[in-house]
Amino acid sequence: MSKFIMIIFGASGDLTKRKLMPALYTLYKGGRLPEGFSILGIGRTSYTDNYYREYILNELHRFVPAAEQVEQQMTDFCNHLFYQTLNPAEAGEYGLLNERLEAISGEVRPDNLLFYLATPPSLYGVIPLHLKAAGLNRPRTRIIVEKPFGYDLNSARELNEVYASVFQEHQIYRIDHFLGKETAQNILAFRFANGIFEPLWNRNYIDYVEITAVENLGIEGRGGFYEDTGALRDMVQNHLVQLVALTAMEPPAVFNADNFRNEVVKVYESLAPLTEEDLEEHIVRGQYTASGSKAGYREEKGVAPDSRTETYIAMKIGINNWRWSGVPFYIRTGKQMPTKVSEIVVHFRETPHRMFRCEGGNCPRANKLILRLQPNEGIVLKFGMKACGTGFDVKQV
């Protein structure tokens, strides 16, 4: 078997240290990476292989959960790392990449390659074209591109055309890392591997749905990226809208990628278009300001002092189909919030009649189902029970 090489553009960036390398290390530790794999980091900053290995080892200590850190395995993993200084915007430099890949694999024209674009979005359209010019779009090659994929509908379509001119569709992965979370995947298992919830999963029993993904971190030095992105492109159009789809979709007839995708698309086609009224009344945009020792968004590096980019969004969306018509989905996301939590709360309709007295006068009349993605992953169902003791008060448990 030929060697597998993963090539990361943006090798010294925030995504690489915070998410990619810890995830790759965890796969390595679990024996999930093929023998003889290599990871080649690409960036403009000049590093040697050894410097890059030390740098990543350090970051693994920061970002891999303590329970997963095994010193020897972290060092072994880092020995699979290489680094190539290269400006990805310069077509002329891709010869260096070709040479490096041949040297690492010991093969002429290796093709078991996976390119990962962890770069600023401005490079998403440039890199594939340069890869093509350098002959690096080979049959077994795959490419993963981060979001936001385009800036708006037209630029997303143009970008799609670029990718289609370089790779075949099965070689392209437009990634949304929320879909890799066990808890996100479990929404499907919860809904479609159990018979008792699905009959209730519609407008007859559900009052409204809340989907939240808030974080207690700011933009972590990513001002250059975030200024043009904002919460709408960073979290809403991708992660939150995917969670809406998982919550609202119909069960696919067969569980495979195409059928799954088709059901997701049907949800998107049913989304009620936003009106002027929605913009004024059903969407809230905000920006975090300084608090305690934490800088406000406008004080962050790379952010304009009069920036209008939103770091918080809450909005109400509607799904116009038989299952969901009239059931609002409230989605919200924000940076620098008091806590980090991602969850879906399904609020069921209230009981038609209040028969019992309630403990403390606080009457729980509606059931709530909470699908908690992180932290404290789990599923919680809230319902009324009799409070212990004499009398017949009811409380929520």
Least distance (Å) from ligand BG6 to the CB of residue 162? 22
Q: Which of 21, 234, 248, 297 is in the footprint of ligand BG6 by CB under 6 A?
A: 234
**How far is it, in rounded angstroms, from Cα 329 to Cα 210?**
6
Q: What is the DSSP string of 354-367?
A: --SEEGGG----EE
> DSSP secondary-structure letter at 206?
E
Q: Which of 159, 184, 215, 264 is in the footprint of ligand BG6 by CB under 6 A?
A: 215
Within residues 283-342, the interface with ligand BG6 by CB under 6 A covers: 342
Q: What CA–CA distances, in Å, run from 388 to 85, 356, 367, 392, 393?
A: 68, 14, 20, 8, 8
Nearer to ligand BG6, 21 or 166 (CB): 21
Least distance (Å) from ligand BG6 to the CB of residue 342? 6
ω before 375 within 30° of 0 (cis)?
Answer: yes
Least distance (Å) from ligand BG6 to the CB of residue 19? 7
Assess whether 239 carries a catalytic annotation: yes
Paired tokens of 293? 């020792």
Amino acid at 307: S
Nearer to ligand BG6, 242 or 321 (CB): 242
Nearer to ligand BG6, 27 or 279 (CB): 27
Which residue's C-beta sits nearest to ligand BG6? 234
Neighbours of 10 (CB within 10 A): 22
Nearer to ligand BG6, 215 or 359 (CB): 215
Least distance (Å) from ligand BG6 to the CB of residue 331? 14
**How far is it, in rounded angstroms, from Cα 366 to Cα 171?**
47
The 48-87 contact track toward ligand BG6, x by CB under 6 A, reads ----------------------------------------
- How many residues sit close enough to ligand BG6 to count as binding (CB under 6 A)? 3
SS (H, E, C) 202-260: CCCCEEEEEEEEECCCCCCCCHHHHHCCHHHHHHHHHHHHHHHHHHHCCCCCCCCHHHH
Within residues 368-387, the interface with ligand BG6 by CB under 6 A covers: none
Amino acid at 113: L
Nearer to ligand BG6, 140 or 301 (CB): 301
> DSSP secondary-structure letter at 34?
P
Nearer to ligand BG6, 215 or 310 (CB): 215
Whether residue 106 contacts residue 64, with contact meaning beta carbons closer than 8 Å, is answered with no
Whether residue 116 contacts residue 5, with contact meaning beta carbons closer than 8 Å, is answered with no
Least distance (Å) from ligand BG6 to the CB of residue 121? 11
Least distance (Å) from ligand BG6 to the CB of residue 215? 5
| From 130, 239, 282, 353, the catalytic residue | 239
**How far is it, in rounded angstroms, from Cα 312 to Cα 283?**
10
Write out the catalytic residue numbers: 239
| Residues at the site binding ligand BG6, with contacts judged by CB under 6 A | 215, 234, 342
